[in-house]
């Protein structure tokens, strides 16, 4: 226990002793987090809006003031058959906005029980084009559905775009990961170089390799953790700002950075990569 | 290669056993097939001309420089057989004082002295207790909060000694510790070393000052000559 306390004490001494390098590293970690958050997660956001996966497929049904049980039944059948996760019901005005933005498919439902209302459904493009086309086919063959507005060309373009986005997002992530590793290594190499005398003294007085290395690794992990937290707050602030600016006609762009699993993944990476970098660099201390 | 057993060390009460030590500095030989033993609790002066290899020998004994050949058993730690990352175990038993002190200039006297205890994981209370004792012995209490960069040569030397003795090592290696001190401070320092030796610490002190061995009763003198180390007669001791 006292050994651990002494290591933590050494962590603190190191932070004070190398404050300039650590400060630079800390600011960099925050910037990387925010930049990756905006680029990486915005891309996920686009993906979610435009090309949701089959288990996230959404059908949006609109109708007038009154509820329509027969339509709800029909949509529910689709929901179960194609494992549609979410069924959203909008008012006609909201539906119009969503229809024009998020989907290449428009469906006109013919309600035989109440011909006053027409119904519109939006199906988000699934990752499986074959399955998607099967849904279209089935919808078209349903006698209750008056029309399926389906732009095949658009579907193909968006499908290709999805692949491009996949590569872009992976590339963005890999570039940031590489930069993060590079900066971590350079920072800790600089710290070790400026601490050469101190390190030699530590060796002379009988410090174990763990006692010498752990403060660097603990500091990198701690800074990564705090940087992720601050980065998260900054992302939230940016999101609020962008929402106010962009979630207005004619853009209606809905910015959402906070997909739980992605944020956790990004935070873990922001902590883990500096740890790996510092671990690797300090391995060479002898 | 001859194996050195712990039992043998116990029998002879030798804390350092060096067998067939050979060491080259580039192509220049410093030691050639030299062997010697140092008894536990002894005070040994290592003398020799400048460049004869006194500092190198101390560094070899401290595990900083691996010898070209030979076996060194230092308080049970066999140099050359264990991996380099195990050397800290040796350095917890064998402390060294350098001529240029090797202090962390940016931190205070007490922080410098206490540093080895932190590495050992000693509790804070115990650290404070030991620190007070060392500060009193070396008369450093008044300047304990001072940064080491502000200290004089003599004060730095005492801080370096304080850092060495605070862990109570079984062997102290000192490389020309009186090199930058005046006569008065030299006397004081030798008195400290004598006290430590009285408490059972083995001390090996490299010096070119032939007057120093006269200050320590029953001390031994190891002379580095012709690439070999030999005990010389006791006439230097009083």
Question: pLDDT of B174-221, one tens digit each?
Answer: 988 887 677 887 888 888 888 888 888 999 999 888 888 888 878 888
Q: What is the pLDDT of residue A158?
A: 60
Which one, of A113, A67, A11, A44, lies nearest residue A254 by Cα? A44
Q: CA separation (Å) from A199 to A57, A154, A211, B105, B167?
A: 58, 63, 11, 13, 19
β-partners of residue B174 are: B97, B205
β-partners of residue A108 are: A120, A147
CB contact under 8 A, A204 and B84: no
Domain finish residue from A67, A102, A124: A124
CA dist A124 and A103 (Å) reads 6
Question: pLDDT of A1-36, one tens digit each?
Answer: 777 777 887 788 778 888 888 898 899 999 988 888
CA dist B214 and B196 (Å) reads 17
Q: Is A143 inside a domain boundary?
A: no
Do A176 and A43 fall into the same domain? yes
What is the architecture of the domain spanning B100-168? Orthogonal Bundle (1.10)
β-partners of residue B22 are: B69
Do A96 and A164 fall into the same domain? no
Could you tell me which residues of chain A have a Cβ less than 8 Å from any Cβ in chain B? 2-3, 5-6, 9-10, 13, 17, 197-198, 200-209, 211, 286
Q: What is the pLDDT of residue A227?
A: 93
Domain finish residue from A124, A142, A168: A124
Q: What is the ipTM of this complex?
A: 0.82
CB contact under 8 A, A2 and B88: no
Q: What is the pLDDT of residue B84?
A: 67
Q: What is the pLDDT of residue A230?
A: 94
Question: pLDDT of B106-137, one tens digit each?
Answer: 889 999 999 899 888 888 888 999 999 989 88
Q: Which residue of A has its CA nearest to B59?
A: A204
CB contact under 8 A, B95 and A208: no
Do A166 and A229 fall into the same domain? yes
Do A17 and A58 fall into the same domain? no
Q: What is the pLDDT of residue A211?
A: 86
Do A89 and A219 fall into the same domain? no
Do A18 and A58 fall into the same domain? no
CA dist A59 and A107 (Å) reads 10
For residue B165, pLDDT over 70 is answered with yes
Sheet holding A86-90, edge to edge: A86-90, A58-62, A118-123, A105-110, A145-150
Domain ranges (residues) in chain B: 100-168
Q: What is the pLDDT of residue B168?
A: 87
CA dist B80 and B161 (Å) reads 28
Q: What is the pLDDT of residue A145?
A: 57
Query: A211: which chain B residues are within 8 Å (Cβ-Cβ)?
Result: 119
Q: Is A130 inside a domain boundary?
A: no
Do A262 and A174 fall into the same domain? yes
Question: Cα-flanking dihedrals φ and ψ of residue A149, to 5°?
Answer: -85, 110
Q: Is A129 inside a domain boundary?
A: no
For residue B75, pLDDT over 60 is answered with yes
Do A45 and A164 fall into the same domain? yes
CB contact under 8 A, B88 and A201: no
CA dist B230 and B222 (Å) reads 5
Domain finish residue from A72, A100, A124: A124
Q: Which residues of chain A are modeled with pLDDT < 70? A: 40-72, 74-76, 78-136, 139-140, 142-159, 161-162, 165, 246-259, 286
Question: pLDDT of B55-64, one tens digit each?
Answer: 888 998 888 8
Q: CA separation (Å) from B212 to A10, B47, B199?
A: 39, 10, 20
Q: What is the pLDDT of residue B1?
A: 37
Q: Residue A167: is it exposed, middle or buried by C-beta count within 10 angstroms (0-12/13-18/19+)?
A: exposed
Do A205 and A64 fall into the same domain? no
Q: Which residues contact residue B106 at a Cβ distance below 8 angstroms, ignoring those fewer than 6 apart?
A: A17, B147, B148, B149
CB contact under 8 A, B124 and A211: no
Mean pLDDT (whole number) for B92-116:
88
Do A275 and A164 fall into the same domain? yes
Mean pLDDT (whole number) for B7-26:
74
How many domains is chain A built from? 2
Q: Is A152 inside a domain boundary?
A: no
Question: With contact defined as beta carbons under 8 Å apart, do B94 and B75 qualify?
Answer: yes
State the residue range of the domain holding A217: 2-50+159-282
β-partners of residue A90 are: A62
Q: What is the pLDDT of residue A84?
A: 53
Q: Is A144 inside a domain boundary?
A: no
Helix-strand-coil split of chain B, %, nearest 5? 40, 25, 35
CA dist A277 and A190 (Å) reads 13
């Amino acid at each position: 226990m006292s050994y651990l306390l002494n290591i933590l004490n050494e962590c603190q001494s190191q932070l004070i002793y190398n404050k300039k390098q650590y400060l630079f590293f800390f600011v960099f970690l925050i910037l990387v987090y925010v930049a990756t958050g905006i680029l990486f997660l915005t891309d996920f956001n686009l993906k979610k809006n435009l090309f949701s996966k089959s288990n996230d497929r959404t059908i949006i049904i609109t109708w007038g003031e009154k509820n329509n049980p027969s339509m709800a039944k029909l949509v529910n059948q689709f929901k179960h058959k194609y494992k549609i996760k979410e069924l959203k019901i909008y008012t006609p005005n909201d539906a119009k906005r969503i229809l024009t933005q998020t989907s290449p498919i428009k469906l006109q439902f013919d309600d035989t029980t109440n011909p006053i209302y027409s119904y519109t459904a939006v199906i988000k493009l699934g990752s499986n084009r074959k399955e998607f086309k099967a849904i279209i086919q089935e919808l078209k063959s349903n006698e209750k559905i008056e029309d399926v507005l389906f732009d095949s060309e658009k579907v193909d373009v968006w499908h290709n775009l999805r692949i491009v986005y996949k590569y872009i997002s992976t590339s963005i992530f890999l570039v940031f990961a590489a930069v993060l590793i590079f900066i971590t290594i350079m920072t800790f190499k600089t710290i070790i170089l400026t601490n050469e005398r101190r390190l030699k003294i530590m060796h002379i007085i009988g410090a174990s390799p763990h006692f010498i290395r752990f403060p660097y690794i603990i500091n990198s992990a701690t800074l990564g953790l705090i940087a992720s937290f601050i980065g998260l707050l900054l992302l939230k602030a940016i999101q609020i700002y962008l929402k106010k600016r962009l979630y207005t006609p004619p853009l209606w762009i809905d910015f959402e950075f906070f997909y739980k699993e992605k944020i956790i993944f990004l935070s873990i990476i922001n902590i883990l990569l500096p740890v790996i970098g510092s671990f690797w660099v300090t391995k060479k201390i002898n | 290669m001859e194996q050195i057993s712990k039992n043998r060390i116990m029998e002879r009460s030798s804390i350092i056993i060096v067998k067939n030590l050979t060491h080259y500095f580039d192509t220049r030989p410093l030691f050639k097939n030299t062997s010697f033993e140092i008894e536990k609790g002894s005070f040994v002066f290592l003398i020799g001309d400048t460049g004869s290899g006194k500092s190198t020998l101390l560094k070899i004994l401290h595990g900083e420089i691996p010898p070209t050949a030979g076996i060194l058993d230092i308080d049970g730690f066999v140099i050359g057989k264990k991996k380099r990352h195990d050397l800290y175990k040796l350095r917890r038993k064998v402390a060294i004082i350098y001529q240029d002190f090797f202090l962390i200039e940016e931190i205070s006297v007490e922080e410098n002295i206490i540093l080895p205890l932190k590495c050992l994981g000693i509790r804070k209370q115990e650290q404070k207790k030991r620190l007070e004792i060392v500060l009193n012995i070396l008369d450093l209490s008044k300047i304990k909060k001072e940064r080491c960069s502000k200290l004089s040569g003599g004060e730095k030397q005492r801080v370096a000694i304080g850092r060495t003795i605070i862990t109570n090592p079984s062997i102290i290696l000192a490389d020309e510790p009186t090199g930058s001190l005046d006569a008065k401070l030299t006397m004081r320092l030798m008195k400290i070393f004598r006290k430590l030796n009285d408490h059972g610490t083995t001390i090996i002190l490299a010096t070119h000052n032939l007057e120093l061995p006269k200050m320590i009763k029953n001390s031994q003198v190891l002379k580095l000559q012709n690439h070999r180390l030999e005990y010389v007669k006791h006439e230097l001791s009083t």
